[in-house]
Amino acid sequence: MKSEPGALIEVVVAQVAGSAPTAVGDSLYLGASGWRGSVGGGALEEALKRHAMTCRERGIGAVVEFVLNSKHDQCCGGRVAAIICPVPQMAMSWLEGDAPRLYGWDHRDQPQLIGAWRQGRWHPTGAHPDPGMAAHEWPAGLRAGKNGAYFLKRMAMSYPLWLFGAGHVGAAIAALAGRLGYDVSVFDARPEWNSASRFPPDTIRHIAAMPPAEDTIPPPSALVMTHSHDLDFAITAALLARPTGYLGVIGSRTKAALFRRRLQDHGFREKDLARLHMPMGLSGLGKKPYEVAIAVLAELLQRRQGEAS
């Protein structure tokens, strides 16, 4: 039985073994407007798209395994298993919003989307009971439940990032950071610099120089790069007194040494200063705004991947 021409079909990476250009939970789907998302690109993605088109035509689901070997013009050597399943039109907003989703297997042993969590509430595609769990309680992957096997696709992680200073480097970092999963907030009291025209639309802009009050939950990452060294120091001291994760400050090694002495004079100890990344970013990549942005974001990504491993 062929499905409707505009029917949705989704591909979700369920297992990865060895070296592969994708990760568990990566997904793409096909609707009336074409393909959205990615499962790694290249031969792997094209092969899974072909499988998905066949499933779409037949109105079925499938679990497909792909080996990245010479047969497929690949040499990584890894193995990827992906769930391919039809998706009801009612679930389009779940896919577009990358809501956490739960998949199961039907009476034909074919994968199917059985529901999603929106604003913390369970929304089934049919008469599927509430699984009795919150989406954040499971990592993405295959799991055994009381009614059989399930696969959870978590929504993409986002990472809060505070930028202090809306100058050229701040604007360059903001332009790239959103594509890397960061939720960017910019702090700068100068409205002519901290303007909507200089930052991506989803940037949160605060016309203020200093961090919010201490009762505000601090971000895991903060970058200090204002137009004033005295302001840089005041912000750095304020953030260093709080449990901020990555704290980066722009500047030369001379500025870094001066800041460390001043921070010690203000009562900060070596274990406090060990949290300070100054100069921030990987060294030797250049001093132009986008060069600095790449160096800083590369260091943040290194840290993020290390925490995830």
pLDDT band at 215 (very low <50, low <70, confident <90, very high): low
Q: What is the pTM of this model?
A: 0.64
User: What residues pair up with 172 in beta bridges, in sequence order?
Assistant: none
Per-residue pLDDT for 133 more than 60? yes
The answer as to whether 1 is a domain residue is: no
Task: Kindly report, residue by residue over 157-205, the tens digit of the pLDDT.
Answer: 668 899 999 999 999 999 999 888 888 999 999 999 999 999 999 899 9
Mean pLDDT of the chain: 85
Q: Domain boundary residue among 89, 118, 153?
A: 153
Determine the pLDDT at residue 245.
76
Q: Which residues of 139-152 are buried (b: 16+ CB within 10 A; e: fewer)?
A: ebeeeeeeeeebbb
The answer as to whether 189 is a domain residue is: yes
Q: Are residues 195 and 145 in the same domain?
A: no
pLDDT band at 218 (very low <50, low <70, confident <90, very high): low
Taking the C-alpha atoms of residue 216 and residue 229, their distance in angstroms, rounded to an integer, is 25
Per-residue pLDDT for 109 more than 50? yes
Q: Which two tokens stand for residue 169?
A: 């480097």
Per-residue pLDDT for 136 more than 60? no
Task: Kindly report, residue by residue over 2-25, the tens digit of the pLDDT.
Answer: 444 456 899 999 888 888 888 888
Find the mean pLDDT for residues 216-243: 88
Q: Domain boundary residue among 116, 134, 153?
A: 153
pLDDT top residue among 177 and 133 = 177
- The string of DSSP codes covering 39-70 is SS-HHHHHHHHHHHHHHHHHT--EEEEEE-SG
Q: Domain boundary residue among 122, 153, 184?
A: 153
Q: Which two tokens stand for residue 185?
A: 């907030």
Q: How many domains are there within the chain? A: 2
Find the mean pLDDT for residues 231-246: 90
Nearest to 225 by CA among 268, 179, 193: 193
Task: Kindly report, residue by residue over 44-71, the tens digit of the pLDDT.
Answer: 899 999 999 999 999 899 988 888 766 6
Host domain of residue 244: 159-308
Q: Are residues 169 and 121 in the same domain?
A: no
Residue 218 sits in a domain whose CATH number is: 3.40.50.720
Q: Are residues 124 and 190 in the same domain?
A: no
Amino acid at position 115, single letter:
G
Q: Are residues 29 and 100 in the same domain?
A: yes
Taking the C-alpha atoms of residue 283 and residue 256, their distance in angstroms, rounded to an integer, is 14
